[in-house]
Structure 1
Amino acid sequence: MQPIRISEKLSIGAQPTEGEFALLASQGFKMVINARPDAEDAAQPGSATEQTAAEKAGMAYAFVPVTGAAITDADVFAFKSGLRQAAGPVFAHCKTGMRALTLHALGEVLDGHMEADDVVSFGSRHGFDLAGAKAWLERRATQKPQVKGFYDPRTFSIQYVVTDPATKRCAIIDPVLDFDEKSGATATTQADAILAYVGEQGLTVEWILDTHPHADHFSAAQYLKAQTGAQTAIGEQVVAVQKLWKGLYNWPQLATDGSQWDRLFAHGERFKIGSLDGSVLFSPGHTMASITYVIGDAGFVHDTLFMPDGGTARADFPGGSAKALWASIQAILALPDETRLFTGHDYQPGGRAPRWESTVGQQKQSNAHIVGHDEAAFVALREARDKTLSMPKLILHALQVNIRGGRLPEPESNGRRYLKIPLDALGGAAWDDAA
């Protein structure tokens, strides 16, 4: 294994043995990025072994597993983030170094440091054929809509800006309002990052869309509406969620007609983002009100399907149903195989970097909760797993905000806002024993 120097910060190479990590550290490397999925062949050490060896040698470690055909913007972002955060030179590898160099080259193009037409010659200078990277860039340039994901590590959530490149009009999907339950503090850090991107790209926000009332983060829909003037929307079954939680919160003054949003979407309803067509799939199961937005060749599924290695979302919230979730998943998987699917959470299975984009075809081939299961087996798996899960730490905080379209409680006479937490309202949930 001989590192190939690409820049002052980056070298790439083939798979190192477990014993070669100390050698890499002695050569001055401060971080290892592993771009190789586990179990590609019996001889590779695997990510857990690599991480232990890297840290024992005093190096940081990042796991960005990719295959050439399935690289996404999230993978490129994770690779760039590793390089940016490293305290010194980085050694990145896969089996041969090809995928590591591909991720780097794609990042250079997306950052404007290299032209797409120069990718193949750049690869040739280092002994690699990057024709696949050039093809990836060409495919990406023709995709409609353009999708930018924003990952929030506090809640493992992904927020999206979905843009029509022809008109520069966009929608924001499932934005996060920052909340610290320990101090009660709120902030707009995540939403402001989205607004900064919108400004940098010269976009006009037409819609602020929620897929459902979220249980693990506050919605920034109202804040973004105030900043942009865009319409807010959610699925029409939100009224059923409002009625359920009105009782749990003992909240007689809560309006349960969905009037907190500008538009309530019915199943099959269509809308526009610039010149792009959007439509709505009713996708109950995780909640009674969950919907999927299908915009061009992209579907936004939030808490219905996770990445294939993460399986599917829980279905044990009030009004949830594993049987309904199975039916919703089948409707999503009936879309064309090439449809891009964007999930709303990623919990980084195996310690890999966050990912959020797959395709219908990939989900059908490898989703951990779907492949090899019929409805009965899925329901049994989902219900058994849900019994072991504690409730999200923010569910009782977030729902009273999110069933009002992201509005915080009104200030009381002293000028402060207060949340109301019902005790013993979610009986039967597993306890989280973590301190």
Structure 2
Amino acid sequence: MPVTKITERLSVMGQPAVEDFRDLKAQGFATVVNARPDHEDQAQPGTHAEEQAAHDAGLSYVYIPVTTPTITQADVRAFQKAVNEAQGPVVAHCKSGTRALMLHAIGEALDGRMRTDDVVAFGRDHGFDIVAAANWLTKDAARRPVVEAFFDAHTSSVQYVVSDPATNKCAIIDGVLDFDEKSGATATRNADAILAYISDRKLSVEWILDTHPHADHFSAASYLKQRTGAPTAIGERVVDVQRLWKVIYNWPELATDGSQWDRLFAHGDTFKVGSIDAKVMFSPGHTLASVTYVIGDAAFVHDTVFMPDGGTARADFPGADPRMLWHSIQAILELPEDTRLFTGHDYQPNGRAPRWESTIAAQKQANPHLAGITEEAFVALRTKRDRTLPMPKLILHALQVNVRAGRLPEPEANGKRYLKFPLDALDGAAW
């Protein structure tokens, strides 16, 4: 069981056996990071067996499964977080230790503590070939746009700042306004973190974009517009969602012309983020109004396609349709195979760290809802699965805010704001 020390904090190794975990504890390690996906070969114990062995040995355990071609910045940051937050030395493993060392080296280079030109020699000095890490960094430096993600653990939502390094102009996509359903409290912590990032990097906001009216969190579009002055936008079919929910809420005062946003995008419309070309794809199915924003080599699909191990979005909300969702996904999959795909939620299958970036090629190859599936099989799979899912806990809270571009209800005479939602309006009771 050879272990290679990289820093005082981090060591890497190949695949340990379950019985090795107690020995790792005896060597002084506090945390094991597993960077290896399950089912790579029959000999590996798998994450569930490893997690139990770590628990039995008194070790903390973190699961960050990666393959060399699909490492993303989210994986790198999750790896750094696991090392930095551990209560002592960390040992990270994959099959040989190479991917674990790659995650460390990429993070060091991204943060300026190592030059890309020195990465290969760094790996060689420790007995590993990590040319792939240097290649990753070279490719990453050439990508346009720059995409920074902000994960909200409370709603499992991912928000994005998409920027053009040539002009320092950016767009914000699907910002989250904090809401605690138990106390009724609202806050702007998520949005303020986005604004702080923008300020630190001296970016100028050109757009505040919603992909659709969300059912599981409040949109921060209105607050972000107040803070930045940037125009808000959404797909033009939001008017259909407004009409639908106007009836559900018995809300005669609701304007259903989309005027709450500054621009309504039609399918095929184009715009720019700085000097980077962007276009809009109408992507209904999850909702009547869902759109995909394709900005440079990045596509923002939110509740349409999840990470390959997470499948696809549900299609049983009012106005949703699994067959429409299938056709929307097929149109997305016609984008170039190296297109970066950014999802809007991650529910962390098997307890892995949050992830949000994949590619068209990875989706075609590894998403069980899409790879080798026919339209009829997808509709049957999606329909059967959706019947088992309760409605999102915030759907009735959130839609009355989100069909108005994130505007909260106006204060009443006592200065307080009040949400209104109907009883027995939706199927899907928790019991």
Which of the five TM-score ranges fits, normalised by the shorter chain? Answer: over 0.9
CA deviations on 1:388-413 (whole Å, 9 max, x unpaired) are: 10000000000000000000111111
Aligned equivalent of 1:426: 426
Aligned equivalent of 1:223: 223
Secondary structure, aligned partner of 2:279: strand
Aligned equivalent of 1:9: 9
In structure 2, C-alpha distance between the alignment counterparts of 1:385 and 1:68, rounded to whole Å: 31
CA deviations on 1:350-379 (whole Å, 9 max, x unpaired) are: 111111111111111111111121111110
CA deviations on 1:200-238 (whole Å, 9 max, x unpaired) are: 111111001000000000001111111111110000000
In structure 1, C-alpha distance between the alignment counterparts of 2:172 and 2:123, rounded to whole Å: 36
TM-score, normalised on structure 2? 0.99
Secondary structure, aligned partner of 1:279: strand
How far apart are residue 421 of structure 1 and its match? 1.6
TM-score, normalised on structure 1? 0.98
Aligned equivalent of 2:139: 139
In structure 2, C-alpha distance between the alignment counterparts of 1:195 and 1:368, rounded to whole Å: 37
Residue 123 of structure 1 pairs with residue 123 of structure 2: yes
In structure 2, C-alpha distance between the alignment counterparts of 1:228 and 1:105, rounded to whole Å: 36
In structure 2, C-alpha distance between the alignment counterparts of 1:88 and 1:228, rounded to whole Å: 42
Say how many residue pairs are matched.
431
Query: 1:305-320 to 2 correspondence within 5 Å?
Result: 305-320=305-320
In structure 2, C-alpha distance between the alignment counterparts of 1:396 and 1:113, rounded to whole Å: 47
In structure 2, C-alpha distance between the alignment counterparts of 1:309 and 1:11, rounded to whole Å: 28
CA deviations on 1:96-124 (whole Å, 9 max, x unpaired) are: 11000000011111122212111111111
In structure 1, C-alpha distance between the alignment counterparts of 2:114 and 2:366, rounded to whole Å: 34
CA deviations on 1:258-304 (whole Å, 9 max, x unpaired) are: 01001000000000111011000000000000000001111000000
Aligned equivalent of 1:36: 36
For structure 2, the 5+ residue unaligned runs are: none
Taking only aligned residues, the RMSD between alpha carbons, in angstroms, comes to 0.8
Aligned equivalent of 1:18: 18
Aligned equivalent of 1:105: 105
In structure 1, C-alpha distance between the alignment counterparts of 2:324 and 2:43, rounded to whole Å: 43
Aligned equivalent of 2:399: 399
Query: 1:260-409 to 2 correspondence within 5 Å?
Result: 260-409=260-409
Aligned equivalent of 1:413: 413
In structure 1, C-alpha distance between the alignment counterparts of 2:233 and 2:314, rounded to whole Å: 24
Report the residue type matching 1:335 in the other structure: L
Report the residue type matching 1:73 in the other structure: Q
How far apart are residue 432 of structure 1 and its match? 2.5
Secondary structure, aligned partner of 2:132: helix
In structure 2, C-alpha distance between the alignment counterparts of 1:410 and 1:114, rounded to whole Å: 52
In structure 1, C-alpha distance between the alignment counterparts of 2:132 and 2:90, rounded to whole Å: 23
| Runs of 4+ residues deviating >2 angstroms | none
CA deviations on 1:61-92 (whole Å, 9 max, x unpaired) are: 11001111110111101101111211111110
CA deviations on 1:163-214 (whole Å, 9 max, x unpaired) are: 1111010000001011110011111111111111111111111001000000
Aligned equivalent of 1:159: 159
Aligned equivalent of 2:60: 60
Query: 1:190-205 to 2 correspondence within 5 Å?
Result: 190-205=190-205
Report the residue type matching 2:430 in the other structure: D
Identity of aligned residues (%): 67
In structure 1, C-alpha distance between the alignment counterparts of 2:36 and 2:52, rounded to whole Å: 16
CA deviations on 1:9-53 (whole Å, 9 max, x unpaired) are: 111111110001011111111111000011111111000000011
How far apart are residue 8 of structure 1 and its match? 1.3
In structure 2, C-alpha distance between the alignment counterparts of 1:182 and 1:58, rounded to whole Å: 35
CA deviations on 1:124-153 (whole Å, 9 max, x unpaired) are: 111111211000000001111111111111
Secondary structure, aligned partner of 2:58: coil
In structure 1, C-alpha distance between the alignment counterparts of 2:31 and 2:412, rounded to whole Å: 51
In structure 2, C-alpha distance between the alignment counterparts of 1:396 and 1:407, rounded to whole Å: 15
Report the residue type matching 2:37 in the other structure: P
Aligned equivalent of 2:89: 89
Aligned equivalent of 2:45: 45
Secondary structure, aligned partner of 2:162: strand
Report the residue type matching 2:146 in the other structure: Q
Secondary structure, aligned partner of 1:278: strand
In structure 2, C-alpha distance between the alignment counterparts of 1:208 and 1:287, rounded to whole Å: 20
In structure 1, C-alpha distance between the alignment counterparts of 2:115 and 2:175, rounded to whole Å: 32
In structure 2, C-alpha distance between the alignment counterparts of 1:89 and 1:6, rounded to whole Å: 11
Secondary structure, aligned partner of 1:22: helix
